[in-house]
Structure 1
Amino acid sequence: MADRMLFAGMDVGTSGCKMLVYDLDGTIVYQSSRKYQEEGSDGYRELNPNLVMANVREVLKDVAKNCKDGITAMAVTSLGESVVCLDKDNKVLANSMLTGDCRGIPETQEIIDILGADRIFETTGLPPNELYGLPKYMWLNRNTNAVEDATAILYYEDFVGYILTGQRKVGYSSAARSMAFDIRKFEWSEEFLKLAGIRKEQMSEPVPPCTVIGTILPEIAEELGLNKDLKIVAGGHDQTCAALGSGLFALKDGECGMGTCEFMFTMLPRVMMTPYMMRNDFTCIPYVFPDTYLSSIEVTTCGALKNWAKDSIFRDIDRKCREEGRNFFQYMDDLSRDVKTDVMVLPQFGSAGNPDLSMDARGTITGLTIHTKPEELYKAILEGMAFQMYLAYERMQELGTEMNCIAVTGGGAASELTLQIRADVFGMEVHSLESAEAGTLGCMLMSATAVNAYPSLEEGIKRAVKIKKKYVPEANMTQYYREKFERYKRFYEVMHDFH
């Protein structure tokens, strides 16, 4: 009977929300999704929380209608940093600023001047940067009344949990994106929050992964048609939940999520915050398992850069593909598969990831001639993202981290060429997974473990996370990329901050 229990994960992201229902073997029973648009211009990037919640409700209704057996428990994973300010009547007071929003850059330096970069890193595990929440909350407090008037300040994970249960509790990994959360004490830093005019009681209570937040409110269960005994479980930041859903729990495993941005996690041998880590913008964040920590590296453009190239440089090819009913990316993968080129791309098109995080960066293309073919430029984009990630990983190895393989998830994992390039550049196996939705699978694992449907998270991973295909590095291509990577490093050092 227990094997027939259903569990769900909901992913609330920048461009849409989705919910997947699973059995304990990790098989998808039903899924539903909705798209929405971000707002803003001139460097402002925002989400309307009312729009997001309306779509979340639609998804929940759809799932309830089509899963007659009912769901035992669910957890929510969501985009990081962005907050929802609610007044005493649960009215939304402001739009949410997204990652990549230009606001908060001067405030970041002000925070550093007040607290000191070392202290910020030692407390939060985050090298101070406008990417994270606190400087954006400072801007919000100075330019609106939202913080002052808020009864509750929530991330999208606990925003959904609060609406469903009436309880304000948030997973550690969501709280850790704030740059105001003490990762050793697992509590809010009142001193840090105060810089943004935030009181501790406005924030949700931080709780460990797999904590049952509460049972769905009767009126919400009736409105949406959900199981009246549905348990809501603490989830977390989307990248952390995706790491769990990809099976990351051994010290020498790595996980890479390829979406709009690309995010790679490696496990740290212990909690550590060193000057070297801060110089390279390497994080130390709490993971799902007790006393485990991750460090992350990222390429901030990834899917966004590929889509830009499709819509601009390759727009005529894209139009022809659509006319012929072909997938543009598959067509270009096939066309460029065996191409070798001197073209190189620095993928910092508007923002940059490790080892020099910046929300005000510029990309560069070099090696072009009048004979350069579209497939060379396309291949160079894929290689550039791989080189940038390997550049950061090469520096991260100074910390004592070591990977034997990388599990890859997200939309980018659909490209076999991309995964083979990664295997060749990194010189290690790259695994695609049966489940393309690692974030919601990670939520399922936590929700099922929380109600004892699995004896442990490790047992859940062994049962539900399955490898689809292994990409093995080809020795001749690994050597080719080693030589090209050395040129890329020189290219990066000259151009990464040229503008």
Structure 2
Amino acid sequence: MAFAGMDVGTSGCKMLVYDLDGNVIFQTSRRYQEEGDKGYRELDPRMVLRYVKEVLKEVGENCPKPIEAMAVTSLGESVVCLDEQDHVLANSMLTGDSRGIPETKRIIDKIGAQRVFEITGLPPNELYGLPKYMWLNENTQAVKKAKAILFYEDFVGYVLTGERKVSYSSAARSMAFDIRKLEWSEEMLAMAGIKKEQMSVPVKPCTIIGTILPEMARELHLNPEMKLIVGGHDQSCAALGSGLKDMTTGECGMGTCEFMFTMLPEAKMTPEMRKDDFTCIPYIIPGTYLSSIEVTTCGALKNWARDTLFRDIYAKCSHEGKNFFAYMDNLAADVRTEVLILPQFGSAGNPDLSMDARGTITGLTIHTKAEELYRALLEGMAFQMYLAYERLEKAGTAMQSIVATGGGAASELTLQIRADVFNRKVFSLKSDESGTLGCMMMAATAAGAYSSLAEAIKRAVKIREEYIPDKEMHAYYMEKFKKYKQLYTRMFDFK
């Protein structure tokens, strides 16, 4: 039997087909480009759909086994507006798009920040969907003309089945979903001129959306009996694919941004959580809730440093056929440095979400070496996560270990620094694609191939490496962390 997960992201889409032990049978992907400038960041849904279909067709034509069921995970917040003829009405605004700041203030003024948080589990911020939907409604005709407003998860599901159903985890990124009632908040939607009927029906995890349409199966050469299963927001699916099933484990997705999930003891939206921009969202495992910590610049900041600060080293590595990051990891492995870096280079995550922040490098001398700067970057990201986690612990989370996923988890140095800073074991996984693995597990559970998600996790999620905290390094980092907190207090909002 074969089951699949598709990931529709900001910069590309990919699809992996698995057996029930989590082994990859077939995979393929496509890259695409976002559009916009001067603070605008957009995706053209027609372009995305074209590449999604290319991926599906390649799977249909080349996968050695027919796919029984699949689920889709996708980027959060961004929506696709379709008219009565299913024509796209506007590009999708991405999370980092600068639009929505005045609209967020209006939401707070009308409804109140704490009440928004208690309804949606999201502290009001332009990062989330509703302020951007307000801008779309007030500056275009897209919302007014839309028959359907879909996230990319249910957009793909609708194209393939003709049915409009969406996961709780994707709906929850809209800032218009009532996380206690598990339904759309008409009061919140009305702020953007949206009617509940324009949105897809929110459904519980592992719900079957429908069978692939005959014409889609023929066009894409897919199994005509293939079922589409509700998927979810990319970070939630990655958490499932990393084995997050109770309060003892946290999941840290290390990509362009870095996103850590920990489980809460209950649905909890305190004023202190709102102040620090911590979320409370329904998880894929029924009856459970997660909170999140985000650092918005991790992978992007490493790439910036590679292309600017370390340009000559990068050129040398490229000429010699070496992996730049592996080379720098080795160079910085035994370094201790007084350099401190605040990683808010243009945007910031918890505990002070901002799309207009500035980073800081301090502690430099004329003797500072490249490997010190590189190590300080990795440490700065870990310190920022730890600074936020110290505050989140007050909400009752009880994380004892961390599972790292995403491209950043390939760095052993990064994971050892995390273990030493957090003083907790850190695990990497054999699977590099926890989001699609999570989708596969939901699809197979819905189809009855697993008896439960717990069985799916036990069978398909496999640990690759364990990183144990070093007591001496933890003590060293706690002294350095004191200086980091002082620097953060003084410099976070400096412009």
Which TM-score band applies after superposition, normalised by the shorter structure? over 0.9
Matching residue of 1:76: 72
**Distance in structure 2 (CA, Å) of the matches to 1:405 and 1:72:** 34
Shift of 1:414: 0.4
Pick aligned residue for 1:249 from 245, 248, 251: 245
Matching residue of 1:483: 479
Paired residues in the alignment total 495
Matching residue of 1:381: 377
Shift of 1:68: 3.5
Pick aligned residue for 1:30 from 26, 31, 34: 26
Pick aligned residue for 2:468 from 472, 490, 493: 472
Matching residue of 1:367: 363
Pick aligned residue for 1:393 from 380, 389, 394: 389
| Structural RMSD (CA) | 0.6
1:409-424 paired onto structure 2 within 5 Å: 409-424=405-420
Mean CA deviation greater in 414-423 or 308-317: 308-317
Shift of 1:371: 1.2
**Distance in structure 1 (CA, Å) of the matches to 2:260 and 2:460:** 21
Pick aligned residue for 2:106 from 106, 110, 124: 110
Matching residue of 2:329: 333
**Distance in structure 2 (CA, Å) of the matches to 1:473 and 1:389:** 16
Tell me the SS of whatever aligns to 2:356. strand
Shift of 1:369: 1.2
**Distance in structure 1 (CA, Å) of the matches to 2:201 and 2:169:** 13
**Distance in structure 2 (CA, Å) of the matches to 1:322 and 1:439:** 30
Tell me the SS of whatever aligns to 1:73. strand
Tell me the SS of whatever aligns to 2:223. coil
Structure 1 segments of 4 or more deviating over 4 A?
Answer: none
Q: Which amino acid aligns with 1:458?
A: A
**Distance in structure 2 (CA, Å) of the matches to 1:88 and 1:304:** 39
Matching residue of 2:454: 458
**Distance in structure 2 (CA, Å) of the matches to 1:195 and 1:279:** 23
Shift of 1:316: 1.2
Shift of 1:69: 2.1
Q: Deviations over 1:174-228 (max 9, x none)?
A: 0000000000111111111111111111100001110000000000000000000
Matching residue of 2:190: 194
Matching residue of 1:21: 17
1:55-454 paired onto structure 2 within 5 Å: 55-454=51-450
Tell me the SS of whatever aligns to 2:347. strand
**Distance in structure 1 (CA, Å) of the matches to 2:397 and 2:171:** 25
**Distance in structure 2 (CA, Å) of the matches to 1:80 and 1:69:** 31
**Distance in structure 2 (CA, Å) of the matches to 1:101 and 1:341:** 35
Shift of 1:295: 0.4
Q: Deviations over 1:265-295 (max 9, x none)?
A: 0000111110110011111000011110000
Unaligned runs of 5+ in 2: none
Tell me the SS of whatever aligns to 1:360. coil
Paired residues of 2:69 and 2:443 also in contact (CA < 8 A): yes
Q: Deviations over 1:341-389 (max 9, x none)?
A: 1111100011100001111111111111111111111110000000000
Pick aligned residue for 1:11 from 1, 7, 11: 7
- The answer to whether structure 1 residue 496 and structure 2 residue 477 are counterparts is no
Tell me the SS of whatever aligns to 2:456. helix
Shift of 1:337: 0.7
Structure-2-length-normalised TM-score: 0.99
**Distance in structure 2 (CA, Å) of the matches to 1:200 and 1:248:** 32
